[in-house]
Amino acid sequence: MKFEIDNQTLDDLAIFGSGSSNNSIFNLFNKTVTYGGKDKLREFFDSPLTNGMAIEERLGAICYLQDNDTGFTADKGSLDFIEHYLLQYNKPVSVSAIRSVEKWIMYKFNGNGEYYVLERGIVYLLELLQQFAGFIKDNDPAQLPLLLQQFHSTITEIFDNKDFKATLQLCNKARLGPMDIARADHLFRYSGYAAIKVLIDIVYQLDVFTTVASVAKKLGFSFPVVRQADEQKLILTGIFHPLIDQPVLNDVEFNYNKNICFVTGANMAGKSTFLKSVGVCTFLSQIGFPVPATYMETSVFKGLITTINLGDNISNGNSHFYSEVLRVKHVAQKMNQSQQVLVIFDELFRGTNVKDAYDASLAIISAFSKARKSFFIISTHIVEVANELAAIENIDFRFMETTFDDGTPKYSYKLRNGITEERLGMWIVNNEGIVDIINGFLKRN
């Protein structure tokens, strides 16, 4: 089953960034050695998993590589050249002793560039095979996590092939002769091509896993605990936003009995950042990566849908409020397909008047509260809605703390239990002296 996520959610959470901005979750990990590793990293980001076992396998490999050296290293230059070599035309469907000598002579006397690519590509591939041989020899499969065990088994199976066994002997030769090159080229680009592509894919995965392990350790990320039980749960301790300097850590928990987190708080108190942090953690856990939290325990989700930076759709003639309504409808439709979804709404129905926003929020949140297998985080600027919903037992009411020091608001960015009545809109307007500026302009004119 495909994980449900859309461009709105990816943009809200800055998964890939937008425009010229490099400030994204993807770029936190975009430090792979090889271009193929970067493509593999993007592939993981493009395809969040819905299989708990697959998530655990990937996490296990990354965790192991964070603390253990398998002796395998990826070299960008050689991998790029190997890829270039494998793409050469005229794949050798057979091996001819006469033809191999002819090619070698032409290269020696005429400096044939095509032959040079073949020779260097084969040398680099033999070096790569030598590394794989070392990986098999130096790592006991019984001590490896499951995914690395599978890599070990795949490599061993390929190397057990008689043609690969014979070709591996070439690693011990100081110089390759024409027939050596011809036989190796036939194996690498024709008879054993599919196996070579499998081995290269393993290289790229190891490149990604090693990179992610290093980045996660540097940034203080932890490995989520994935639960396979039927009952949904999400526990986040010490969660933080990885794109913010000196972030404040917060805790939140969801389960069947508390499937909605309703967040209130003043402007600039940190509600949006908190919501994004939960979304980022969930996304990363679903691709089997470490997360920005000191601890995370989670069930497997089937989708992640956010509405944080929703704008007007001018091309369709939709107002901001109508765009919000369509977004809520989209969530309802997706929940009808699968209820194991995390939904995040920031300032629900802010695009309409207070009365309609109040009524719509009350109706929608009350309906969401009955979908116990999905989790919801909803922030609002209409505190009255929170008070009206207080009787619903499965809503967890939280607020972002604001205190005053000599009449000036101070933000702790800490999530507290309960509902806050704090409103700072007019304080901000007055603090900026907007009314005084307007009055001063009118007096002068």
Q: Is residue 15 part of a domain?
A: no
Residues 241 and 176 in one domain: no
Region of poorest pLDDT, from 154-163, 361-370, 399-408: 399-408
Over its C-alpha atoms, the chain yields an Rg (Å, rounded) of 29
Same domain, 292 and 332: yes
The answer to the question of residue 160 being in a domain is: yes
Regarding whether 429 and 281 lie in a shared domain, the answer is yes
The CATH number that applies at residue 251 is 3.40.50.300
230 or 110, greater pLDDT: 230
Q: Which of 186, 219, 252 is the last residue of a domain?
A: 219
Q: CA-to-CA distance for 341 and 348, rounded, in angstroms?
A: 18
Nearest-angstrom CA–CA distance, 427 and 407: 10
d(CA 295, CA 309): 28
Examine the pLDDT at 426 and tell me if it is beyond 60.
Answer: no
The predicted pLDDT at position 97 comes to 63
Residue 233, token pair as written in the block: 């749960």
319 and 386, same domain (yes or no): yes
Say which residue the tokens 């209820």 belong to.
Answer: 339
Residue 353's contacts (CB-CB under 8 Å, 6 or more residues apart) are none
219, 235, 253 - which closes a domain: 219
Mean pLDDT, all residues of the chain: 88
What pLDDT is recorded for position 296? 98
How many angstroms separate the CA atoms of 442 and 436, rounded?
Answer: 10
What per-residue confidence (pLDDT) applies to 439?
A: 65
Identify whether the C-beta of residue 349 lies closer than 8 Å to the C-beta of residue 324: yes
What percentage of the chain has pLDDT greater than the value 70?
A: 87
Confidence at residue 110, expressed as pLDDT on a 0 to 100 scale: 58
Cα dist from 399 to 47, 207, 237, 380, 434, whole Å = 33, 42, 17, 10, 28
268, two tokens: 């600039």
The parent domain of residue 370 ranges over 225-444
299 and 335 both lie in a single domain: yes
How many CA atoms are closer than 13 Å to the CA of 190, on its beta-carbon side?
14
> Whats the size of the chain, residue-wise?
445
Residue 250 lies in a domain: yes
Q: What is the DSSP track for 19-61?
A: TT---SHHHHH---SSHHHHHHHHHHHHS----HHHHHHHHHH
Residues 6+ apart with CB under 8 A from 283: 5, 13, 15, 25, 48, 304
Q: Is 390 found in the same domain as 246?
A: yes
At 100 the pLDDT is 61
Contact 122, 188 (CB under 8 A): yes
pLDDT tens for 238-296 read 999 999 999 999 999 999 999 999 998 887 888 999 999 999 999 999 999 999 999 99
Question: Which CATH number do you get for residue 92?
Answer: 1.10.1420
Number of domains the chain is built from: 2
Q: Are residues 195 and 234 in the same domain?
A: no
Are 170 and 91 within 8 A, CB to CB? no
With cut-offs at 50, 70 and 90, classify the pLDDT of residue 414: very high
